[in-house]
């Protein structure tokens, strides 16, 4: 998952806990291998290279969900931003970046692929899909299913800051999760108590591209919103939902959602806690 992943689970049996942890690790590695955008041999890469258009049931479901979120967020959450992703890593100058971006932007948008029965169809040769902003959260939701299947009542899953809190601690306490101050990651700016809830935080300070000494966030923006938050946290009932909206609100903070949100703006930053 290209990020530290942690699992804390509570069980009366160490062997049972170890077995379940291994099942979750195996599932996470399976998903990472299957949908790795940067691995030319991955299933997703085979689709992007037009070497296959056949979809298994899992991938069909995932892609259908991404199209639904694309519509629900008015096109803000868009897995086809991958179409211009590579030029941020390869462009030698801002001028080259802008030229290549302008040439590829007409092929960005989930309307450029359709799903019919068990196949995916693109309407051009250029549109690509990157599920990096979806599969990590999906892996957490899958892990929750494994935990529930094995009757685990309390656990905390943390895949690189994307979190699901299952139940309460054996002490009866809810799980406490701190949100990092975007300007000082050693401090917490907010704390939430979670029970059977997912929390994700999107921010532009963790990973970046640098072109000609100019820095670009790994959350690639194709919109026109002038004001961008420093970080966005969303709490919902599943990790995919939280991840979609925390990413989308980073790009378009005026987007409406019924979920609990915590947005850190540059000019109205709350005082750190702790």
pTM of the complete model: 0.88
CA distance 6 to 132: 18
| Integer angstrom CA distances of residue 154 from 187, 198, 235 | 27, 14, 18
Report pLDDT for 218: 45
Domain boundaries 1-10+153-274, CATH class = alpha beta
Helix (H, G, I), strand (E, B) or coil at 39: coil
Instruction: Name residues of the chain where pLDDT drops below 70.
Output: 90-92, 204-227, 267-274
CA 177 from centroid of its chain's CA atoms: 18
Nearest to 206, CA basis, from 173, 172, 244, 162:
162
18: Cβ contacts below 8 Å, ≥ 6 apart: none
pLDDT in tens, 3-59: 889 999 999 999 999 999 999 999 999 999 999 999 999 999 999 999 999 999 999
CA 80 from centroid of its chain's CA atoms: 14
What ranges make up the beta strands (E) of the chain? Answer: 5-9, 113-116, 119-122, 155-159, 162-166, 175-181, 184-194, 197-203, 208-211, 214-217, 231-236, 260-264
Q: At 267, phi and psi to the nearest 5?
A: -95, -5
Report pLDDT for 212: 44
Q: At 248, phi and psi to the nearest 5?
A: -65, -40
For the chain, give every domain's residue range. 1-10+153-274
203: Cβ contacts below 8 Å, ≥ 6 apart: 180, 182, 230, 231, 232, 250
Report pLDDT for 90: 65
Report pLDDT for 216: 43
Report pLDDT for 261: 95
Q: Compute the Cα dihedral for 211, 160, 175, 140 and give only its sign.
A: positive
Report pLDDT for 208: 47
CB 88 within 8 A of CB 216: yes
CA distance 239 to 257: 15
């Amino acid at each position: 998952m290209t990020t530290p992943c942690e699992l804390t689970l509570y069980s009366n049996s160490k062997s049972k806990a170890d077995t379940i942890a291994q099942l979750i690790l195996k599932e996470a590695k399976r998903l990472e291998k299957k949908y790795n955008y940067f691995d030319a041999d991955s299933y997703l890469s085979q689709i992007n290279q037009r070497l296959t258009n056949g979809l298994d049931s899992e991938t069909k479901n995932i892609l259908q969900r991404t199209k639904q979120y694309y519509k629900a967020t008015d096109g803000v959450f868009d897995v086809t931003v991958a179409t211009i992703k590579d030029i941020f890593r390869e462009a030698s100058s801002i001028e080259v970046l802008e030229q290549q971006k302008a040439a590829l932007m007409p092929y960005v948008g989930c309307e450029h692929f359709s799903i019919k029965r068990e196949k995916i169809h693109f309407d051009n040769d250029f549109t690509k899909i990157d599920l990096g902003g979806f599969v990590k959260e999906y892996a957490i939701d899958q892990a929750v299913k494994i935990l529930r299947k094995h009757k685990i009542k309390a656990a905390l899953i943390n895949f690189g800051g994307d979190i699901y809190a299952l139940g309460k601690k054996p002490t009866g306490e809810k799980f406490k999760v701190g949100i990092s101050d975007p300007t000082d990651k050693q401090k917490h700016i907010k704390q939430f108590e979670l029970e059977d809830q997912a929390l994700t935080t999107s921010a532009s300070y963790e990973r970046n591209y640098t072109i000609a000494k100019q820095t670009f966030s790994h959350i690639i923006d194709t919109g026109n919103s002038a004001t961008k938050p420093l970080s966005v946290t969303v709490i919902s009932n599943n990790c995919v939902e939280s991840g979609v909206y925390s990413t989308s609100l980073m790009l378009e903070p005026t987007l409406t959602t019924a979920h609990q949100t915590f947005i850190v703006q540059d000019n109205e930053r709350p005082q750190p806690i702790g």
